[in-house]
Amino acid sequence: MKVTLRKVGKSPFEFERKLQDITLKGYMQYDSNGLILLDAKLTGILELDCAVCGEEFELEVDEDLKFFISDGIYKDEENSLIDVVEATNGELDIDELIHSEVELIKSDYHCCEFCEIGED
């Protein structure tokens, strides 16, 4: 699902996208300095391998996402250190965003409930 950024205005542009067992639901709206605010929630179930025993387990995902989107390269002239995703061709690919967030979660250290108990 691709969103054309020039269609995002001052009133919230709501969206919901589900890929497999993960849903991203939220809104985008023009903020300032040519940036668009994305405020969304990533929810669902991910199948992961336990970092300790290697067994597969399900992780319930419930993550708040809040960052800015720039149409093209963003130059932070004020050194504000805000989170900015740079979109290309005037579009934001929501599917790619979901995949990126899922991979970020997967790259973290996760234990199944049995190994978590053993670490206490």
Q: Classify residue 32 by its DSSP letter.
A: S
- Measured at the CA of 98, the angle between CA 95 and CA 99, to 5 degrees, comes to 85
Structure tokens belonging to residue 1: 């699902």
Q: Is the pLDDT of residue 22 over 80?
A: yes
The dihedral region occupied by 51, where left means phi > 0, alpha psi between -120 and 50, and beta the remainder, is alpha
What pLDDT is stored for residue 79 in this prediction?
60
pTM over 0.75? The answer is yes
The closest alpha carbon to 28, from 38, 18, 20, 19, belongs to: 38
pLDDT (tens digit per residue) in 55-89:
999 999 999 999 888 876 767 666 665 778 778 78
Q: With cut-offs at 50, 70 and 90, classify the pLDDT of residue 15.
A: very high
What pLDDT is stored for residue 83 in this prediction?
76
How many Å apart are CA 102 and CA 98, to the nearest integer? 6
